[in-house]
Amino acid sequence: MSGAALSLAAPSFASAGERYGQRPPVVLSPDLTAPWVMQLRSQAAPRGGVVYRSQPKALRSPAAQTRSLRVQPHRVTNVALAAPRAKPAPTRQIDDRFLPQTVSYEGNQSPGTIIINTRERHLYYVLGNGQARRYGVGVGKEGHAWSGTEKITRKAEWPDWRPPAEMIKRVREKEGRILPVHMKGGPENPLGARALYLGSTLYRIHGTNQPWTIGKAVSSGCIRMRNEDVTDLYERTKVGAKVIVL
């Protein structure tokens, strides 16, 4: 019985031996990471054999990628807007304190006298009865200011302008501007709508084509006023009137 058992077991052993008699060769990759790469490829097979890094779903969607691309132009625009601003243009409005008004006058000058306070940038026309009409004026810039007493020797409407030769030369050398030898009266003329000539000097009380300069020291010695103000003064003043410049 035992021998029969042995004889029956032998064929079974022989069959197993035949099955594993020639074992498949074992191939060892020189790169020990190869099996892991193959394993990753087998897992990524449904996606075409390409191994992707895990990314947030928001970045994988085309819409999210489009939004991320739009960020750069927006930032560039902000940089452009941060450029230095240009300097604002000078204001062309007159301070209210240089607009005409009637004020109290306590001096001893007779009615019709003109008093110009160059520090205050004001011209006073004495009315009498303790009052004066006050106007804002532009005065001579540094080096051209003056003081004294003169008389109105002539009056002119829309006067011509003939700048003196010394003034033409000075402006050309210092400012690079070429002044005309003569300019007919009109809205573009620097003397404006009216002029009151002072004695035998080259100075005048006159209007201007730059009203925003009233209240400033900008002239070559003349007293400038707004056209509407010098027109009002022109109607009040007579030839021979005294003018005091302080």
Asked if 70 and 64 count as a contact pair (C-beta separation under 8 A), the reply is no
Cα gap 105→34, rounded to integer Å: 108
Alpha carbon separation from 59 to 18, 53, 122 (Å, rounded): 57, 12, 73
Query: What's the DSSP call for residue 119?
Result: T
How many residues does this entry show for the chain?
246
Cα gap 101→107, rounded to integer Å: 17
CA–centroid distance for 177 within its chain: 26
Cα gap 10→165, rounded to integer Å: 140
Residue 182 catalytic? no
Residue 144 catalytic? no
Residue found by looking up tokens 């011209």 in the block: 123
Residue 134's CB is within 10 A of a number of other CB atoms, namely: 22
> Can you read off the two tokens belonging to residue 122?
């004001």
Asked if 5 and 11 count as a contact pair (C-beta separation under 8 A), the reply is no
From the candidates 74, 122, 144, 206, which is the catalytic residue?
206
Cα gap 17→11, rounded to integer Å: 10
From the candidates 122, 144, 182, 222, which is the catalytic residue?
222
Residues involved in catalysis: 206, 222
